[in-house]
Chain A
Amino acid sequence: MHANDLAELDTRIRTIESPDYHDPAHADLPALDLVVTAVAVVGVSVLLLWWGLS
């Protein structure tokens, strides 16, 4: 990386790591979303594959 880019990178990381900085994107995907996904994928897959073969 060039010096300018390194300086920009350092500035950004310091900004992001600062206690005052808040970015909603940094929150994890809620566990509820993961559970809903897992249940839906397994349920839909089993039912549809069984139906498609019948």
Chain B
Amino acid sequence: MSDTPTVSGSAGSLAGLPLLRGERVWGFWGFTSVNVGLAIATWAFLTGGSVALFVGAKAAIAVTVVGNLVGVVLVALTTCVPSAKYGVEQFGALRSVFGRNGVRILLLLLMPFLLATWNAILAIMFGRALANVSNAVLGTDLRADSPVVIGFCLVALVACWLLLLRGPLSLSRVNGLIAPALAVITLVMLVVILRERGPAELAALAPLTPLGDPLLSYTAALEVCLGAGFSWWAITGNLARLTTTARVAYWPNLIGLFGASTVAGLVGTLAALAFGSSDPTTWMVPVGGVVLGALALLFVAFANVTSILGQTYSGALAVQRLHGAIAHLPWPVLAALLLLPATVMVFFPGGVYELFFRFLALVALIVAPLCAVYFADFYLLRRRRLHLRDLYTGDEESRYGFWQGINPVAFVAVAAGAVTYLLLLNPVTYASSPLFPYLTASLPAFAVTAAVHVVLTKAIVRPLNRGGYR
């Protein structure tokens, strides 16, 4: 993909087209560094902090590894493999599941919520990180929601917009510098925490606000980590289409999104347990001292910029499917429009930030069923085979035309999964059913969605000769 936008080769105008071999720019380590950069943003530390609300260190290790592993594997198999195989955007390939208009409905409902909230959270953490650096190094007394912090948030979003103008290669270059440094700093923080407190002391620390029943707390923490794993669903496919082979599209997710997220999450958990705060921007200076802490905060702040960059680029590819007029907006205008909702939200930094673990549960409520319906469709019903031309032709000619460009069965399956989730766990209040401690909420939602989609497709869609199922 071109680094410099041109009429025929801009990041925007190539967005909807299937990629040719020479346009796949990411090999194994290139895609790994992108994944590591995405993973070691402050959201991993904040997820770790959220886990510390429910469980202590030993249980946190178990749920962090398992939750991230299961979530990332399911997301990578579902989104990265098909997008890389056919060189198409994730939401282009999703036409085979929901139909063209179905994808538009999905995008309208999904992208504003996901993109605005994630970008706002990252920008706010960028602002708080810089404020803490200023407090530690310059002796200022900036509050977490001060106008200066809001100003820093806006700087982050403007910086992302400027980098977005240069297309996906700028993402790769920035990550190439930041990802290794972040990996080292995260490991140094882990060593510092372990040296200062010791494994025995850390293991004895109590969770910050447990739910009462230990098994319920354990599963709630696991659910937070599953939500973190599933939350990559909207981002990874569009990035993986730039990779050179199926293995390159798949395994770097386990090094970056799983491995790096897990390590960073555990550092966040241990620090939160040790310092009594789930906000990573408050404990980095106490953990590492002024120099290391400020350095860590600076790198984390800039990693947040790369994370905003990655997901906004991916989101831009997605929303271009909504309408031809959007696809032909100048790239700088489209990028600015996508960053606009987060720009509004950062004016309310406290409210956005404190809702984080509830937001993760809401993500799982939506994304686990979406992941499941795509997984069932691609692997179980279509046997990993899509027809490239039919992803682009009109609904009258395409085997993916369904009914007026919508596959209602896929929506019914997603709804069944979401209802299953809600019956097990309320993502806002965290009130749960007696079965939740034994099942989690997102895994049953995944299973129910997949089963409903397969059964209804075989019973209704295939006999009516819709959707190209054979």
Contact = CB atoms under 8 A, between A and B. Distances in A.
Interface in B67-91: 69-70, 73, 77, 81, 84-87
A13 B388 contact: yes
Given A4-B8, A52-B218, A25 B244 contact: yes
Nearest to A42: B70
Interface string B5-33: 00010000100111011001000000000
A25 B20 contact: no
Interface stretch (B54-62, B102-110, B159-167, B401-409): B54-62
B17 A25 contact: no
A33 B250 contact: yes
Interface in A36-54: 37, 41, 44-45, 48-49, 51-53
Contact of B20 (A12, A24, A41): A12
Contacts of B81: 29
B392 A13 contact: yes
B388 A16 contact: yes
B377 to A, nearest CB: 16
Interface string A1-22: 1101100110011011100011
B462 interface: no
Nearest to B389: A13
Interface in B211-246: 215, 218, 222, 243-246
B84 A37 contact: no
Contacts of A21: 21
Interface range on chain B: under 10, 10 to 19, 20 to 34, or 35 or more? 35 or more
Contacts of A25: 21, 24, 84-85, 87, 243-246, 248-249
B18 A37 contact: no
Interface residues of A, number: 32
Interface in A20-34: 21-30, 33-34
A2 B388 CA distance: 19
Contacts of A9: 16-18, 392
B261 to A, nearest CB: 15
B247 A12 contact: no
B95 to A, nearest CB: 14
A16 B24 CA distance: 14
Contact of B244 (A13, A16, A24, A37): A24
A52 B63 contact: yes
Given A2-B328, A41-B73, A48-B66, A8 B17 contact: yes
A23 B20 contact: yes
Interface in B383-413: 384, 388-389, 392
Contact of A1 (B20, B73, B244, B327): B327
B310 to A, nearest CB: 20
B434 interface: no
B65 interface: yes
B62 A1 contact: no
Given A25-B85, A37-B77, A52-B63, 13 more contacts: A1-B324, A2-B328, A5-B17, A16-B87, A23-B21, A24-B244, A28-B85, A29-B246, A30-B246, A33-B250, A44-B69, A48-B66, A52-B59
User: Which 7 interchain pairs have the tightest Cβ spacing?
Assistant: A52-B62, A29-B246, A23-B21, A48-B62, A52-B59, A45-B66, A24-B245
25 contacts: A1-B324, A5-B17, A8-B8, A9-B392, A12-B18, A12-B20, A13-B392, A16-B388, A21-B21, A23-B24, A25-B243, A28-B246, A33-B250, A37-B77, A41-B69, A41-B70, A45-B66, A45-B70, A48-B66, A49-B63, A49-B66, A51-B62, A52-B63, A53-B59, A53-B62
